[in-house]
Amino acid sequence: MTHVRHTPQAVTGRRPLSAGAGIDAHRHDEHQIAYPGRGVLSVTTGAGTWVAPANRAIWIPAGCVHEHRAYGETELHLVGLPVSANPLRLHRPAVLGVGPLLRELILAYTRQPATLTPERLRLRAVLLDQLQEAAEQPLHIPAAKDPRLAAVCAALHADPADNRTLAQLGAQAGVSDRTLTRLCRAELGMTFPQWRTQLRLHHALRLLAEGVPVTAVAHRCGWASSSAFIDVFRRALGQTPGVYGVRG
């Protein structure tokens, strides 16, 4: 990421983003919650990409250089928080579950003027209480640093439906599957199948937000059948893919 913009105070408020629009690399001295009230949002740093549909939010710690990208027509809600307000004690980005009450608190907080009135401070206190109960969600695609593993990851980013084994992908990159397995654990913090599933879910959310039918999404992201895709999606996101896009 180049040309990083430094905004000392994290923005609080609502911002509509058209499909494919984004916010370039920047950082701020406060923590921030990025919540897509509608659409799908991704946040990318040097460590990877986090993705959130409308029942998830992304925690962005102070000082973290990041950029936003919208998929589908997205309504972005941003909540800036002072560095002393870190109820989950997270010092890295994370995807958090957003229940009905937390959703309404975020919507109310980003709808009000930014002036810190006593009423607004009370609202923020309740929001932080609810945030403390939010569970971290596994919707992170870590980025590889080793050029051999990065080459394999890039091939799958280009075609998530690529079903080649790690050994087959490694043969093309000139590296053994044993080495790649070790690199996955060391650099990605997960197994190769786990990483590939995260990648496919990310692409699936993007396609659903763009109006691609569920059956086509399953095919384009590499699942053998729509039912297999729906099962993985429901276990990861708590809802069926039809909630996020077009059925069929």
- Is residue 168 over pLDDT 90? yes
Percent of the chain exceeding pLDDT 90 equals 83
Domain ranges of the chain: 5-137, 144-243
- Is residue 105 over pLDDT 50? yes
> Whole-angstrom Cα distance, residue 193 to residue 216?
22
pTM of the complete model: 0.90
Nearest to 247 by CA among 202, 212, 220: 212
Q: Tens of pLDDT along 107-132?
A: 999 987 777 889 999 999 999 999 99
Mean pLDDT of 92-120: 91
* Residue 8 φ then ψ, to 5°: -50, -45
- Cα dihedral 71, 17, 55, 89 sign: positive
Mean pLDDT of 37-55: 94
Domain 144-243 classification at class level: mainly alpha
- CA dihedral of 91, 55, 226, 149, whole degrees rounded to 10: -10
The pLDDT confidence band at residue 245, using thresholds 50, 70 and 90, is low
Q: Which fold has domain 5-137?
A: Jelly Rolls (2.60.120)
Instruction: Report pLDDT for 246.
Output: 44
Instruction: Report pLDDT for 2.
Output: 55
Antiparallel, parallel or unpaired: β 66-81 and 48-52 = unpaired
> Whole-angstrom Cα distance, residue 101 to residue 125?
13
Instruction: Report pLDDT for 58.
Output: 97
